[in-house]
Structure 1
Amino acid sequence: MAASLLQKLSGSRYHDRCRGAAFVVLLSAALLPTAAAADEEAIRTTIEGFLLEQTASSDARVEIEVTLTSAAQRPCQSPQAFLPGSGGSISGRTTVGIRCPGDAPETRYFQANVHLYGEYPVPVRDIAPGETIQASDLRWQEGDFSRFNGRLITDPELLVGQVSQRRIGTGQPLQQGMVKSPRLVDGGQEVALRVTGQGFQVRSSGRALNSAARGENVRVRTPSGRIVNGTAIDSGVVEVR
């Protein structure tokens, strides 16, 4: 009788332990996705905040899309974002590093797309190669800067007075390489020389040995036969320092 009672009590405790173990397993299983989701959200928020901070000086409207991999579901208690390599301007597809001190793996990498929306100048007419761009040739257009990989010219002051290097269609975004500074000096042309020093300036003349745009180097032969190097600063004018 006593043995039978002991068996019943023992069986009851065994079942209680099984039920308790099952409860712990179920509880752990329920908590794991929640913890993983919390880490994933923390990493996403860290990346978005970091990229917004990096683009804060831009006048453009910023939109960020973050792509997370399974690495984001692993524990990361204190995520810290950084730009791999030398960094640089941020637009378009961007790689962002995340450090998770004390967690494994400690360093992880994720992809994000940074869209910069704003206005930029475009031509109101077709511009032929060799034409000089005037202020009246431009109007503002809104779009996504990031698709031009940093080559888009957004300041009209960098366009007015420039010469087209190719045919540019109406409404076409103007990018680096499409325009160049006008030629101020032609090779073989007689030019005015300005020799500038500490507290003095001497004016002379000479013959240019090469063509140059504003700010470019010009070699000039003086009437005495001496060759000097200067900088094109105006039409037919070379400054020597």
Structure 2
Amino acid sequence: MDVVRFAFRLCGRVGAGLALAAASLAAVAQAAVAEVPDAALREQLRATLQQAAAAHPGVPPGARTVVELGRLDARLRLAPCERIEPQWPASAWGAVRVGLRCTAGPTRWHVHLPATVQVLAPGWVAAADLAAGTELEAAHLRRAEVDLAAGGVVEQPLLLGRTLARPLAAGAPVRAADLRARQWFAAGDVVQVVAVGRGYRISGQGQAMAAGIEGQRVRVRTDSGRIVTGVPVAPSRVEVTL
């Protein structure tokens, strides 16, 4: 097989605006899609995805990233290619697909390589099997390494006293989606309304027009009679983003 040089630019945005550095490598052109990308290119892809995940602003200190590259459909066949350009996914975590585009060869082609990006960090898991409706106590939890890419992990102080919305098996991480939404206030209650904009923050009072359920938008009638929509963020408190 002829040895050719793959030159590609690693650019664009990954996750929260990560700029990927330029890179180049030498590789062997392959005829079968099962062999594309080759080992050198796969290693370059893995390293770049790992770098992007580690640089994400949501990664806590001490976390480690693990990248597993999948395989393309072995039943497909592609023409040899002299230059393959990766197209990076918008997300840096979880299940992603990296585009591989042939830009120099007898036949242009474009395929997607599946990959899984894990971000492993200390978190909290169920110490034993827990039933739905369990009100969490310290004895229900233990520290363990969890995958942040699989969903938001809640810190222990915010878990205690919360109620499980679904059962958890022993060792399963406790995530925000596993918790029953809290009701911060009832319809008709007087609430504090905080309006947040660029460079300012204004607060006042209003009357809730519906129950304030965590994560659900609610309408509030202010003292002036204006109707605003915001998100319940604490007991008797609604935040409006302007």
TM-score of the aligned structures, taking structure 2 as reference length: 0.56
Q: Which residue of 2 aligns with 1:63?
A: 68
Name the % identity: 19
> What letter corresponds to residue 39 of structure 1 in structure 2?
A
User: Is 1:50 aligned to residue 45 of structure 2?
Assistant: yes
TM-score of the aligned structures, taking structure 1 as reference length: 0.57
RMSD: 4.4
Q: Distance in 2 between matches of 1:91 and 1:200?
A: 38
> Structure 1 residues 61 and 228, CA, compared in 2 at 3 Å: closer, same or farther?
same
Q: Distance in 2 between matches of 1:175 and 1:199?
A: 31
Q: Which residue of 1 aligns with 2:104?
A: 102
User: Aligned runs of 1:130-149 on 2, under 5 Å?
Assistant: 130-133=133-136, 137-142=140-145, 145=147
> What letter corresponds to residue 60 of structure 1 in structure 2?
T
> Structure 1 residues 163 and 201, CA, compared in 2 at 3 Å: closer, same or farther?
same
Q: CA deviation at 1:201?
A: 5.0
User: Computing the radius of gyration over CA atoms, which structure comes out larger, 1 or 2?
Assistant: 1
Q: CA deviation at 1:183?
A: 1.3
Contact 1:125 1:169 in 2 (8 A): yes
SS in 2 for 1:139: strand
Instruction: Give a deviation string over 1:86-118, Cα, whole Å, max 9, x none.
Output: 7434544x5443333331222242544435362
> Structure 1 residues 227 and 163, CA, compared in 2 at 3 Å: closer, same or farther?
farther
User: Is 1:79 aligned to residue 95 of structure 2?
Assistant: no
> Structure 1 residues 239 and 154, CA, compared in 2 at 3 Å: closer, same or farther?
closer
> What letter corresponds to residue 114 of structure 1 in structure 2?
T
The structure richer in strand per residue is 2
Q: Which of 29, 33, 40 is the aligned partner of 1:39?
A: 29
Q: CA deviation at 1:171?
A: 1.8
Structure 2: runs of 5 or more not aligned: 5-26, 55-63
Q: Which residue of 2 aligns with 1:182?
A: 182
The structure richer in helix per residue is 1
> Structure 1 residues 205 and 109, CA, compared in 2 at 3 Å: closer, same or farther?
closer
Q: Which residue of 1 aligns with 2:152?
A: 153
Instruction: Give a deviation string over 1:129-185, Cα, whole Å, max 9, x none.
Output: 344545664333346x59xxx543345379626542222233223456322442111
